[in-house]
């Protein structure tokens, strides 16, 4: 009995080996025939069986079999009928995997390599065109889904990354948008606008200052001629009140670009607003004006520094007792007048640059009154009332 059992087992093993050697070729041929006849369910069943049998064997080494498998799943993916749409949930993945496997086995000049590349390009074209159609209809989430499929076909495709990122951003799918933009950056083929989009998203949607600074640094490294990255980094640090970092960045930027009035102004603003170092602030504003005499903000802020100095002197005087006030009035008023006079040319220049700005008019009117320049004060008062319709 034992010998008979062994013989039967050996016979079954030999039959199994024979089946494994010859069945795949037949299954692939049947799958191809069914595909050509439009019987996608039969084609899928045959090709799946062929690959199931040969996970241990020859189909993996047969470029035609991989190519036919790709064609079957490509047809399933592209099929619009309800008859075959549920045959596979990942038809595109299987199709692209199969075509790539066929290409790995062949030289670039071989037919199956060329056929596989053509098929991949067809799949890519279909999903990208569908994505473009959705985008143009304002269906941005659907467009994102299609453009993302383009990356399944060609994983490093810069166009698919960019369009998917843009669509996701339009759909307010900000996390997905970031993934696409950052993926594009990782390919090494992103332009400056992609870096700026990432910075914008981290700044406005995620309020992640560290990431903003990180991508500003990457932008500076990748695009050293684009000043926007330095400016954005400095502005971000100032707004985040990271004064020491901002000061360091500004000084380095000024050293590299000493004729940039904006950098001097930002340094002045930093000293003025966050570090309360008004002398340094004025010096920085003055440097900005030396580079660009028509720099409105620098002129206005420089004038305000002197104006506030005078106001502080008068405040100190007003806080004195009556006896002390009478004793110090003349000296304090004279000191205040000196500061008001220093403010005058800067505020008049600011008014010249923006003659319809109510804030400047009111500040300058108050200054004229302090300096007893009554005629000019009356002219400004009249203009202010006209603008306000009084």
Domains of the chain: 22-105 (1.25.40), 293-389 (1.25.40)
What residues contact 83, with CB distance under 8 A and at least 6 apart? Answer: 40, 41
Torsion sign across C-alpha atoms 119, 120, 123, 124: negative
* Statement: residue 156 has pLDDT above 90: yes
pLDDT recorded at residue 91: 96
pLDDT recorded at residue 276: 86
Contact assessment for residue 125 and residue 74, using Cβ atoms and an 8 Å cutoff: no
Tens digits of per-residue pLDDT, 356-381? 999 999 999 999 999 999 999 999 99
For every residue of 309-320, DSSP letters joined together read HHHHHHHHHHTS
Tens digits of per-residue pLDDT, 221-244? 999 999 999 999 999 999 999 999
* Statement: residue 54 has pLDDT above 80: no
pLDDT recorded at residue 384: 95
* Statement: residue 176 has pLDDT above 70: yes
74 phi and psi angles, rounded to 5 deg: -65, -45
pLDDT recorded at residue 24: 47
* Statement: residue 3 has pLDDT above 50: no
pLDDT recorded at residue 84: 85
Spell out the alpha helix ranges (H) of 257-321. Answer: 261-273, 278-291, 296-318
């Amino acid at each position: 009995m034992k010998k008979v059992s062994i013989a039967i087992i050996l016979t079954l093993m030999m039959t199994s080996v024979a089946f494994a050697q010859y069945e795949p070729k037949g299954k692939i041929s049947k799958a191809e025939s069914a595909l050509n006849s439009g019987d996608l369910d039969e084609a899928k069943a045959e090709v799946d069986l062929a690959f199931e049998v040969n996970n241990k064997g020859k189909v993996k080494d047969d470029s035609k079999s991989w190519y036919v498998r790709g064609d079957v799943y490509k047809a399933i993916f592209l099929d619009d009928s309800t008859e075959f749409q549920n045959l596979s949930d990942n038809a595109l993945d299987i199709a692209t995997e199969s075509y790539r496997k066929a290409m790995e086995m062949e030289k670039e000049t071989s037919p199956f390599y060329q056929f596989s590349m053509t098929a991949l390009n067809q799949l890519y074209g279909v999903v990208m065109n569908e994505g473009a159609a959705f985008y143009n209809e304002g269906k941005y989430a659907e467009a994102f889904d299609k453009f993302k499929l383009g990356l399944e076909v060609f994983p490093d495709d810069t166009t698919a990354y960019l369009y998917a990122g843009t669509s996701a951003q339009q759909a307010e799918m900000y996390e997905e948008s970031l993934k696409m933009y950052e993926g594009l950056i990782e390919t090494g083929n992103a332009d400056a606008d992609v870096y700026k989009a990432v910075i914008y998203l981290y700044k406005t949607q995620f309020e992640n200052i560290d990431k903003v600074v990180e991508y500003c640094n990457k932008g500076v490294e990748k695009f050293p001629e684009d000043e926007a990255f330095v400016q954005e980094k400095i502005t971000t640090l100032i707004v985040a009140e990271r004064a020491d970092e901002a000061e360091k960045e500004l000084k380095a930027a000024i050293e590299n670009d000493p004729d940039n009035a904006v950098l001097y102004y930002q340094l002045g603003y930093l000293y003025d607003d966050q570090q309360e170092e008004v002398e340094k602030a004025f010096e920085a504003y003055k440097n900005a004006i030396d580079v660009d005499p028509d720099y409105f903000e620098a002129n206005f802020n420089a004038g305000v520094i002197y104006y506030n100095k005078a106001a502080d002197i008068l405040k100190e005087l007003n806080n004195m007792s009556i006896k002390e006030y009478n004793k110090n009035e003349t000296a304090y008023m004279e000191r205040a007048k000196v500061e008001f006079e220093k403010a005058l040319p800067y505020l008049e220049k600011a008014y010249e640059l923006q003659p319809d700005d109510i804030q400047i008019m009111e500040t300058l009117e108050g200054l004229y009154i302090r300096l007893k320049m009554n005629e000019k004060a009356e002219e400004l008062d009249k203009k202010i009332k006209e603008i306000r319709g009084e």
